[in-house]
Structure 1
Amino acid sequence: MTLLTYGRYCDEILTQTDALRAHLDGADLTATVPTCPDWTLRELAVHLGGAHRWVGEIVRTRAQDDVPEDRVPGGAGPAEDGPAALDAWLAEGASAVVAALREAGPDTGVWTWSWQRRTAFWARRVTHETVVHRADAALTAGAPYAVAPEVAADTVEEWLRIVSFAQENGDPEAAELRGGGRTLHLHATDVPDAEWLIELGEDRFTWRRTHEKATVALRAPLTDLMLVMNRRLLPTSERVEVLGDAELLDFWLARSSFG
């Protein structure tokens, strides 16, 4: 598996947003999100829609510096209350960021907080931000949740890269993900070759696609494996299997909990 194409990321932003909107349809928007307990379902939706508009503004204006959120048109949420206004606002924000990304193409230089200062970063990041928050919405609304295998695998790999970037830049939690030659094996049970080995080296951690014996192994269908790595599903769930040193998996998850 490799990176998705830029066009596929743009398509997925719309697909995942539409699916999230469907989860909200008829749901209790005042319900607390179990995986983000500081938010109600409506606040989760406003967070995501605001992120769409923020990135859209960065890309549209070719910003070379961070854009303050209070300078993003419509970023605070819909002007009117009610589920219909929220739904229309979400659809509008997703459409706008995708239009900006498609117009710019993947190689336009813009500000990002990351290792990559071009629009390709934002297409991938917005895709997976939406994928994961759709899981939050589905869980809250009691709706079924599924992601295409190539999207779920890329969500795993992008998150590993984000944690690595945090470690490289001195995040105190991520800094502890090293030492002792300990390893974690992620094994999707339903998709061939969807396996990763994370190695905690002396100075930093690395990962590669392989099947090897490890200190701890996490086995699950790929979507569930992705949800565990993004702390949306507990490793004690009956949907997953943990073999070996479960404390090492807990150690990893506790130190990749930022963002």
Structure 2
Amino acid sequence: MEISEHIQVVDTEGQLLALAAAEAGTGAKVPTCPDWQVRDLLRHTGMVHRWAAAFIAERRTSYRLGGELPELDGDALVEWFREGHAALVATLKATPPDVDCWAFLPAPSPLAFWARRQANETTVHRVDAESARGGSPSPMDVAFAVDGIEELLFGFHARERSRVRSDAPAVLRVRTTDPGEERTWTVRLSDEPPVTEHGTTAPADCEVSGSAARLYLALWNRLPFPQVTGDRALAALWRERSPIVMG
């Protein structure tokens, strides 16, 4: 996906998140994140938006912690979130493609990294907000879901800090089933970080499959895997050990 497409996702998904949070109320429970209420979701995502925008706008070239979470609540907290989200979108749109700043996953450029990362950050938490509100979730584009799966498999879980490890070598297949847009990844598990390859490069011990959107959310532990065949313990291992540590 192009940088401009990721920025559009950040813009749209943030607006949907704010709308769902306002409709749910800041005291509502978040079923997809059982330890959170909507106020926790807004404070976290609003802080991350400001944290990301600061790296870009201030050309920060080394890691810094995020800011403090606000004590705001109710309508004031929703408005605080909207302000930070709008500032992030404006910063992404105004930044030249050759900007030099810190990033923590491979990408064609720091701006490409931050646009993609915040598109996924905002989408996952939009899903959280809509789970608190209830009702039908907003749709997700197949191409974006595939791109997000790749960020997770080739980015986050290629890092040393990934906890998705197996005492015995095993192969997990991830397969999307959207008509005409099927994609397959082979994830080799061991006592080292997972190694992901495009396509069917080895026999699988377990396969998880479904639409790209459903698989995206399942890999982020927001939904159960749509379909599991083979050794279900590997699917359970993913759910147990895949929570992400940022930075």
Deviation at 1:5, TM superposition (A): 0.3
Deviation at 1:164, TM superposition (A): 3.0
Give aligned pairs, total: 241
1:118 paired with 2:110, answer yes
CA distance in structure 1 between the partners assigned to 2:219 and 2:123 by the alignment: 13
CA distance in structure 1 between the partners assigned to 2:51 and 2:192 by the alignment: 35
CA distance in structure 2 between the partners assigned to 1:69 and 1:115 by the alignment: 21
1:88 paired with 2:79, answer yes
1:10 paired with 2:45, answer no
- Which secondary structure state, in structure 2, belongs to the residue aligned with residue 190 of structure 1? coil
**CA 1:222–1:126: 2 relative to 1, 3 Å:** same
Matched AA of 1:245:
D
| Runs of 4+ that moved beyond 4 A | 201-204
Q: Which blocks of at least 5 consecutive residues in structure 2 are unaligned?
A: none
**CA 1:29–1:199: 2 relative to 1, 3 Å:** same
Note if contact 2:21-2:132 (Cα within 8 Å) is conserved in structure 1: no
**CA 1:211–1:144: 2 relative to 1, 3 Å:** farther
1:251 paired with 2:237, answer yes
Note if contact 2:184-2:198 (Cα within 8 Å) is conserved in structure 1: yes
Corresponding residue for 2:153?
A: 160
**CA 1:111–1:150: 2 relative to 1, 3 Å:** same
Note if contact 1:177-1:252 (Cα within 8 Å) is conserved in structure 2: no
**CA 1:127–1:137: 2 relative to 1, 3 Å:** same
1:214 paired with 2:210, answer no
Q: Deviation string for 1:105-139 (max 9, x for gaps)? A: 33311123344572221111111001111111111
CA distance in structure 1 between the partners assigned to 2:123 and 2:44 by the alignment: 14
Deviation at 1:64, TM superposition (A): 1.6
Deviation at 1:211, TM superposition (A): 4.5
CA distance in structure 2 between the partners assigned to 1:246 and 1:102 by the alignment: 43
Note if contact 2:106-2:155 (Cα within 8 Å) is conserved in structure 1: no
Matched AA of 2:14:
T
Note if contact 1:177-1:255 (Cα within 8 Å) is conserved in structure 2: no
Note if contact 1:177-1:204 (Cα within 8 Å) is conserved in structure 2: no
Deviation at 1:258, TM superposition (A): 3.0
Note if contact 1:14-1:95 (Cα within 8 Å) is conserved in structure 2: yes
Corresponding residue for 1:187?
A: 175
Matched AA of 2:223:
L
Q: Deviation string for 1:163-218 (max 9, x for gaps)? A: 33432xxx3724x25752x2112222224222222123675432233247521111
Corresponding residue for 2:52?
A: 55
TM-score (norm 2): 0.87
Corresponding residue for 2:132?
A: 140
CA distance in structure 1 between the partners assigned to 2:52 and 2:97 by the alignment: 14
**CA 1:68–1:244: 2 relative to 1, 3 Å:** closer
Which of 77, 82, 91 in structure 2 is aligned with 1:100?
91
- Which secondary structure state, in structure 2, belongs to the residue aligned with residue 36 of structure 1? coil
Note if contact 2:56-2:111 (Cα within 8 Å) is conserved in structure 1: yes
Matched AA of 1:122:
W
CA distance in structure 1 between the partners assigned to 2:126 and 2:154 by the alignment: 21
Note if contact 1:60-1:100 (Cα within 8 Å) is conserved in structure 2: yes
Note if contact 2:163-2:193 (Cα within 8 Å) is conserved in structure 1: no
Note if contact 2:39-2:73 (Cα within 8 Å) is conserved in structure 1: no
Deviation at 1:68, TM superposition (A): 3.6
Matched AA of 2:20:
H
TM-score (norm 1): 0.83
Deviation at 1:43, TM superposition (A): 1.2
Of all paired residues, the percent bearing the same amino acid is 29
CA RMSD of superposed structures (Å):
2.4
